[in-house]
Amino acid sequence: MSQEDNNVEVAGGDDDIVDPWNVQSKSETGIDYDKLINKFGCQRISDELIARIERVIGKKAHALLKRGVFFSHRDLEFILDRKEKGQPFYLYTGRGPSSESMHLGHLIPFIFTKNDLTIEKSMELAKENAKDIIACGFDINKTFIFSNFRYIGQSPEFYQNIQLVAKNVTFNQAKGCFGFKEGDSIGKIHFPSIEAAPSFSGSFPFIFNGKKDIPCLIPCAIDQDPFFRMTRDVAPRVGLHKPALIHSVFFPALQGAQSKMSASDETSAIFLTDTQEQIKDKINKYAFSGGRATAMEQREFGANCEIDVSYQYLKFFYHDEEKLEVMRQDYTSGKMLTGELKAVLIKELQEMVADIQKRRAVVDDALVEQFMTPRPLQYSF
């Protein structure tokens, strides 16, 4: 459908399957991201680009960029150009992973949404999810949390943007992007216009202190790219900014990249509600190891970090750049054992989850209401 982007056949042959509803790899190292970038037609985040980001923001780039968790983008240079000139932009992200908060928790409701929920259940979950997000430490003056269901009833502008997109995307184009089948519901077929619409929130002024035409940067896992590829195609046709994108890799299940996290399988993931003891037990019992079968073999041959879930989790969450690199080398060479690496991860996750639980305990319904009320945000553009 697009001139700039490749059309994507979402499944086929020996390729990984990556679309907003399925992520599936046949390789134990997980998705081949280089192949995916090529297929999707987006850009690798290069060392040069990270260096430019650091020049523009005047400090070190976010750890998730340096570690390659966010690895790909669309139009990030355009956002950097604006940042350099002091021009505003805004971030939009969903229940999937976001660059400013943790993956561990965000992935759980994301998995949830793939299920066949009732509307009531969805709205309940949305509220619980909002509490998790707030517990991550978002600034209420700069953050508007919305659920699609509620926001539509709160802002006619939002629904107008949905219909603007829906009117300008044909079934054929949506099919090309998402691989829709004729047996899919017309709700599912229409959904991309709902996911697309907040990319154009910068077109109506009430949130941004009367400012209009503010472009959007979207951090998301790469499986969400098709929505925004479509959005970017529509944008110029309706006279609006294309959203820029920054893509993350996927967060693996405890059992490894080929396995799936599932809310119905307690052992597949660390939940934000897990106790300190549960975190320890799950990592020790279930986190797939890239190390050797015995300590002796590990000392001699070393581990494969690419498939080691504990190392992958540390890449997402560990607080210290240099120590992480030392651990990678020591674990790869065999100087470090799986049990030792797991101990580091357990401590890190226990602290992080305890912090979130502490903050979440004081998030009440009134605060959720405040976050979820459309209002001017406190940006000084």
Pick one of 2, 25, 43, 154: the residue that binds a copy of itself (CB under 8 A): 154
Which span sits near a copy of itself by CB under 8 A: 173-181, 263-271, 289-297, 358-366?
173-181
Which of 93, 47, 52 is closest to 66 using CA atoms? Answer: 47
Q: Provide the minimum distance between the beta carbon of 26 and a copy of itself in the complex, in angstroms, as a whole number.
A: 30
Which of 64, 126, 94, 66 is closest to 251 using CA atoms? Answer: 64
Contacts with a copy of itself in 134-153 (CB under 8 A)? 149-150, 152-153
Q: Provide the minimum distance between the beta carbon of 372 and a copy of itself in the complex, in angstroms, as a whole number.
A: 13
Q: Provide the minimum distance between the beta carbon of 189 and a copy of itself in the complex, in angstroms, as a whole number.
A: 5
Pick one of 187, 277, 285, 293: the residue that binds a copy of itself (CB under 8 A): 187
Note whether 168 binds a copy of itself by CB under 8 A: yes
CA distance 7 to 366: 45
DSSP string computed for 41-77: T-EE--HHHHHHHHHHHTSPPPHHHHTTSEEEEESHH
Q: Provide the minimum distance between the beta carbon of 173 and a copy of itself in the complex, in angstroms, as a whole number.
A: 8
**Element of type H or E holding 141:** none
Q: Which of 179, 252 has the CB closer to a copy of itself?
A: 179
**Binding residue count for a copy of itself, defined by CB under 8 A:** 35
Pick one of 44, 175, 335, 359: the residue that binds a copy of itself (CB under 8 A): 175
Q: Provide the minimum distance between the beta carbon of 153 and a copy of itself in the complex, in angstroms, as a whole number.
A: 4
Which span sits near a copy of itself by CB under 8 A: 162-170, 260-268, 300-308, 309-317?
162-170
Which of 329-347 are b and which e, b meaning 16 or more Cβ less than 10 Å from the residue's Cβ?
A: ebbbebebbbeebbebbbe
String of contacts with a copy of itself for each residue 95-134, x by CB under 8 A: ------------------------x---------------
What 3-state class would DSSP assign to 252? coil
- Counting every residue written for the chain, the total comes to 381
CA distance 145 to 206: 15
Pick one of 189, 246, 254, 352: the residue that binds a copy of itself (CB under 8 A): 189
Q: CA gyration radius for the chain?
A: 21
CA distance 288 to 199: 37
8-state DSSP, 251: P
CA distance 223 to 221: 6
Pick one of 180, 204, 271, 379: the residue that binds a copy of itself (CB under 8 A): 180
Pick one of 137, 156, 236, 339: the residue that binds a copy of itself (CB under 8 A): 156
Binding site for a copy of itself (CB under 8 A): 119, 149-150, 152-156, 159-160, 163-172, 174-175, 180-190, 192-193
